[in-house]
Amino acid sequence: MVLSELLIYGGKPLIGSVKVSGAKNSVLKLMAASLLTKEPCIIKNVPNLSDVQKMISLLTDLGTEAKWLAPGTLYLHNDQQLNYYGSEKLMREMRASILILGPLLARTNKAHVYYPGGCSIGPRPIDLHLKGLEALGAVVEKEQGGVLYIYTKGLKGNRIYLDFPSVGATENILMAAVLAEGRTTIENAAKEPELVELQRFLTAMGANIHGAGTDTIVVEGVKKLKGTEYSVLADRIEAGTFLLAGAITGGSVKVYGARADHNEALLYKLHESGSELNIGTNYIEEKNNNRPSAIRIRTMPYPGFPTDLQPQIVALLTIADGTSLITETVFPDRFKYVHELIRLGANIVVEGECAIVKGVCKLKGAKMEAADLRGGAALVLAALSATGESRVGQLEHLDRGYENFSDKLVMLGAEVERHN
């Protein structure tokens, strides 16, 4: 069996401009939210990702009519009785599949689902999802093999405090609450831009929601929702990845679609490491002709430094002047990619939730294997900086979250070849 790999001839600065695609971490939630109405929803700026295709398959299994009206424009319609059984195969493959839970409960009063899969970056329990739904009146029955049967006689609003500002839990509770009876208040809610987008999408459908983007979200339940047409915001993690690609290669990259207000923590750390930043109304440009400076990073829930950019900035710091300290507070197993960077000559020691990175002057090409989405992106960035030839295998991980990644790199002057 021939596995996909990226052949990279490194050592060239990336120069030029690139436009980021629609946000993976937004579109999957909007697709799940379409289950809340019997009317059609049209979602634009949808990236062509393997996770999007899996979500389409999952929604189709539940009874959704799904079709592409044009490249990037997705039509979803659920006017028939929904099947409340989630596909075990698809749910085991994708973390975001758990987001059908809230909509199914709100629409059908029951759901038969499985613990979700996704990248192997550490435990990501769904207990906060379940506690929140139980507070709305759901009954949760757990069966062997990671099967969940959840039902309700009718969801009713309640005051819910999240022990941790989980993005997924906030979203699932929010989607269930929009059709619940009465008022729901979610305290210590997640504040990510993708959550704000979900509120806007649901509001366009007729929901009554206030406070997304703050610690407290208040939902007044409505009887039903209508269809809508909506365009997905640009992917801030993809934007950050390309800004870091420019920095690690000593190039100059202008990223269209990147928003400074969605990337403040990254921009601060790029500036601290020595990058020059030019911020426009619809772009961010990064320049750095010098060796980056060592810095400290601590991942945190938004608006802190995003865990989804931790591997990529570690790649940058492998060639920094000095010793950097990176603390991972969100996903403790997110340093699994480190042993692959060491193949390039990186000097990294992992101690618990911390990685100590002693910068080297130069990385040298090597063969590596991606084990997850963002770790895979870090390997590609490091290979772009390294001298000589590198190979990055298991690109299926990258295909989950980066649309036309290798093509965009080529547009910036990278010497890369994809072999499927």
If phi > 0 it is left, if psi is from -120 to 50 it is alpha, else beta; for residue 211 that is: left
Cα separations in angstroms, 171 against 28, 38, 191, 288, 388: 11, 20, 10, 38, 45
Q: What is the CA radius of gyration of the chain?
A: 21
Positive or negative: CA dihedral 293, 121, 302, 31: positive
Please list the active-site residues. Answer: 119
Which amino acid, 322?
G
Task: Provide the CB-side half-sphere exposure for 92 (13 A, CA).
Answer: 6
Rounded (10°) CA dihedral 402, 197, 268, 310: -40
Please give the order of strands across the beta sheet that includes 354-358: 296-298, 323-327, 354-358, 347-351
Residue 196: both structure tokens together = 């704000």
Q: φ, ψ for residue 132 (rounded to 5)?
A: -65, -40
Tell me how far apart the alpha carbons of residues 29 and 272 are, in angstroms, rounded to a whole number. Answer: 34
Tell me how far apart the alpha carbons of residues 97 and 54 are, in angstroms, rounded to a whole number. Answer: 9
Tell me how far apart the alpha carbons of residues 256 and 161 are, in angstroms, rounded to a whole number. Answer: 37
Residue with tokens 């619940």: 180
